[in-house]
Chains A and B, each alone.
Chain A
Amino acid sequence: MMQKNRLLIIAVVLALAQIGFLAWIIAGRAAILRNGQDVLLKVEPVDPRDLLRGDYVRLGYEISSIPANLVANADAKAPAPDAIFVRLKKDADGFWHPVSGSLGKPAGTPLGTDEAEIRGTTDAGWSAQQNAIIRVDYGIERFYLPEGEGKEIERDMRIRSFSILAAIGKDGTAQIKALMDGDKVLFTEPLY
């Protein structure tokens, strides 16, 4: 009986493993949305002619370009893809702006009030000169839109400034929470 049902048992275990893996990702993301630190980020156009890619818009942020002189250990590191931890501070305008960065590991100093640390990845092509700019990806550079709504938002994005409300988890992972047009919330993300 055991032998006969072995394949069925294997299939059940396999299906549960795959479903469990997906559920684990969903749970991790929902946890960031629920418990993370909310930050409001200014969206800057990436390439105004070509924002819409299939079913999502590409987003660039003010914090996507970090001046190398904000990054304490920038000259000690080779310009290769690396993790970067960027310290953000909330300003009077409500937006969170970068104040410092640290390559490879978190800065280690305790966070002040209205501060958060976001984790990103640098790309390869920067040089450690004084006024160099480091390009950083945070994994939040896309916003998926319901089918058919892309064109309108792409058009508005060219003329007005949009912003993104993101949540940052304990390890610095960022997760998009809402897409805002000025003060108006266009889309908010439910936990699941």
Chain B
Amino acid sequence: MPSYVSRLKADVSRWVEQGMIDQATGQLLVADAEVRNERSFNFGSVLAIMAALLLGAAILLLVAANWEAIPRLVRVGTLFALIFGFYVGGAWLKQRGRDALAEACWLIAAAAFGGSIALVGQMYHLSGDEASAILTWCAGTALAAAALRSSALTVAAVAIAMAWMVMRGIDDWDIVPQFYLVMAAAFWLISYWTQSRPARHLILLSLILYMCIVAAHHDTIAIGIALAIGSALLFILATRAPEPVERIVLLDRRLPVHCLLGFLVGLALAQIDLVDEGGRLALAAVVTFGGIAAALIIAGRESRMLRWLAYTGFGLELAFIYAVMIGTMLGTAGLFLASGVVLGIIALFIIRIERRIRARPVQGGQGA
């Protein structure tokens, strides 16, 4: 998939050739797009973040190894020095406009804080559950994110909270980690302050995961249907009133994509529960196909990501229905035949939709 800048370059050179704009304007347009692209994504900052994650993991593993060769007071002191050095060093870099390096430093500092919690637990043989230690780490990271207005730390705090949620959800079958909803709400608010769009995307994904854990604890089909209906309602809202919704959620107009994912996951939960019930399963499958088609018609033109999610959901649904309903009746040869036919249907479906979308001119919509 060519990047926005390279597609724009092609367009601009065509417009210049056709005399729609002059050479100078074209160069200005391309230069502007390149600068913006640079700001939103460059390999240096991605590598810096990856390096920070690796260094952070190294710190955590070094603690976990309980290495006796270094006296533990030295280990504690080193971790404290890392916390101090990387928080303050990151702030120093930020002041000099090295934003990516600053965020990377802060990530290492947050990892050192988590490592210190683990080391203290190890030093004094604390056997309290890991979940509460992770919660402490999460709170410290969220505090740092808010204090330093760091997007990367906001994402890290959400990720740590997700780890807590999964741990609680798996550890204890009686307890649904409801407290996660409070944390998600708090992180959502923090993400406005820290201007962290990735954090908001991650929170929405984590809420879908939360619903899966709730469904595993309770009534799978009811929770699944509730998730699907909730997602569908939010989808309608987000596509009916895109401007006001975007002003509130600030998600690069990708809220409908999350809604479609929630809808599909909800129906998948319901269908897994209904696997032995032919009639109701078929109904759920029809609703799924209908929902995918509706999502494509309503919002498919606006967002490429939504289209591909819809195609993936469509393909998985077909495969699932095939495995459950037909697969039990046909033999191996039939399986190959049917798979071929099914793949053909998917291909035709995708080609038709893509062609329709290309045929219609885009009015005011943004390609995403």
Contacts and interface: CB of A to CB of B under 8 A. Distances in A.
Contacts of A87: none
Interface string A1-36: 000110110111111111101110110010000000
Interface stretch (A98-106, A107-115, A137-145): A137-145
Contacts of A17: 143
Interface residues of B, number: 36
Sort chain A's interface into a size bin.
35 or more
Contacts of B122: 55-56, 144
B88 A11 contact: yes
User: Which DSSP category, helix, strand, loop or mixed, fits chain B's interface?
Assistant: helix
Contacts of B83: 15, 18-19
Contact of A19 (B72, B84, B125, B148): B84
Contact of B91 (A11, A54, A146, A190): A11
Interface stretch (B109-117, B195-203, B206-214): B109-117
A146 B68 CA distance: 6
Interface in B65-86: 65-68, 72-73, 76, 80, 83-84
B125 A15 contact: no
A5 B92 CA distance: 9
A142 B127 contact: yes
A14 to B, nearest CB: 5
B125 A55 contact: no
A54 B65 CA distance: 9
A12 B28 CA distance: 43
Contacts, number: 102
B80 A21 contact: no
B127 A8 contact: no
A86 interface: no
A189 interface: yes
Given A8-B95, A19-B80, A176-B124, A147 B88 contact: no
Contacts of A5: 95
B356 to A, nearest CB: 51
29 contacts: A7-B94, A11-B88, A11-B90, A12-B88, A13-B147, A14-B87, A14-B144, A14-B148, A15-B83, A15-B87, A15-B109, A16-B84, A18-B83, A23-B80, A26-B120, A26-B124, A29-B123, A54-B64, A139-B126, A139-B128, A140-B127, A143-B125, A144-B66, A144-B122, A144-B123, A176-B125, A189-B124, A189-B125, A192-B73
